[in-house]
């Protein structure tokens, strides 16, 4: 897949991720690293070696000189996991200012608890009655929300009844160091599926727009040990 600035890509049942901007490229990292010795680029071969050296020896601050900007539509529970990554800038739609749209995440299947990871999911539960139970709760919450608004309750209070499966939308800007940390943690096998599918797209975006940095990261630092977060 090719990611074009401004074109949304569908994620989950009703979500999307849109690349809104990219600042810098592979060679921005090189120039930021060499400023300490008053030098710039020295040709693609030497510059590529430098990027690999930076990754191998964890000299990661030059990565902060490039960034990506995203618009994300995702369930609230995904957004709350996402915003645990504090080395990024966020601006989110507010249920105080607008009536939130009737838009809930509906999973293809429910998963049972993992036997090896207490907070994680395990195998799918083939119990279709669970979808009816879930849908009933979503509809009841929405009906209550609308009834509270109709009764004159403020938006900032009426929103309290909405479940975390409600979709939200936010802008996110993160530097390359933080983005690599994000995908090392969120595009990992033990990460929750619903955030992992977003992280997969971010990883692919970095591979497209920063191919040399991405290859070096995969070689040296693709485990969750990258320090920024």
DSSP line for the chain: ----TT-EEEETTTEEEEEEEEE--HHHHHHHHHGGGT-----HHHHHHHHHHHHHTT--GGGGG-EEEEEEEEEHHHHHHHTT--SEEEEE--TTTSPPPS-B---SSEEEEPSS-TTSEEEEE--THHHHHHHHHHHHHHHHHHHHHHTT--HHHHGGGS-TTBEEEEEEEEEHHHHHHHHHHHTSTTS-HHHHHHHHHHHHHHHHH-HHHHHHHHHHT-STT----
What pLDDT, on a 0 to 100 scale, did the predictor assign at position 223? 55
What pLDDT, on a 0 to 100 scale, did the predictor assign at position 87? 84
Task: Indicate which residue of 142, 177, 186, 196 is catalytic.
Answer: 186
Residue (of 165, 14, 168) closest to 97 by Cα position: 168
Q: What residues have CB less than 8 Å from 49, skipping those under 6 apart?
A: none
What domains can you pick out in the chain, each with its CATH number? Answer: 8-93+166-220 (3.30.1360.170), 110-161 (no CATH)
2, exposed or middle or buried, with CB in 10 Å at 0-12, 13-18, 19+?
exposed
pTM: 0.92
Residue pair 206/218 in contact by the 8 Å Cβ criterion: no
Catalytic status, residue 58: no
- Per-position pLDDT tens, the chain of length 229: 999 999 999 999 999 999 999 999 999 999 999 998 788 788 999 999 999 999 999 999 999 999 999 999 999 999 999 999 988 999 999 999 999 999 999 999 999 988 877 778 889 898 889 999 999 999 999 999 999 999 999 999 999 999 999 999 999 999 999 999 999 999 999 999 999 999 999 999 999 999 999 999 999 876 554 443 3
What pLDDT, on a 0 to 100 scale, did the predictor assign at position 37? 78
What pLDDT, on a 0 to 100 scale, did the predictor assign at position 227? 40
Count CB neighbours of 110 within 10 A: 15
- The token pair that represents 84 in the structure block: 């645990």
What pLDDT, on a 0 to 100 scale, did the predictor assign at position 112? 92
């Amino acid at each position: 897949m090719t990611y074009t600035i401004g074109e949304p890509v569908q994620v989950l049942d009703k979500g999307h991720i849109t690349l809104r901007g990219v600042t810098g490229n592979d060679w921005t990292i090189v120039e930021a690293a060499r400023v300490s010795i008053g030098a710039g680029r020295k040709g693609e071969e030497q510059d590529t070696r430098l990027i690999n050296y930076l990754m191998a020896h964890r000299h990661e601050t030059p990565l902060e000189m490039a960034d990506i900007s995203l618009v994300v539509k995702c369930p609230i529970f995904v957004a709350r996991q996402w915003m645990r990554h504090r080395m990024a800038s966020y601006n989110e739609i507010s249920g105080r200012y607008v009536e939130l749209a009737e838009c809930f995440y509906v999973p293809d299947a429910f998963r049972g608890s993992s036997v090896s990871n207490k907070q994680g999911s395990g195998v799918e539960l083939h119990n279709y009655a669970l979808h009816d139970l879930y849908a009933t709760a979503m509809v009841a919450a929405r009906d209550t929300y609308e009834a509270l608004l109709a009764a004159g309750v403020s938006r900032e209070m009426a929103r309290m009844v909405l479940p975390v499966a409600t979709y939200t939308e936010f802008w996110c800007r993160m530097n390359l160091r933080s983005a690599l940390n994000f995908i090392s943690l969120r595009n990992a096998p033990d990460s929750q599926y619903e955030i992992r599918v977003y992280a997969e797209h971010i990883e692919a975006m970095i591979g497209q727009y920063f191919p040399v940095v991405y290859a070096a990261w995969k070689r040296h630092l693709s485990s969750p040990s990258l320090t920024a977060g």
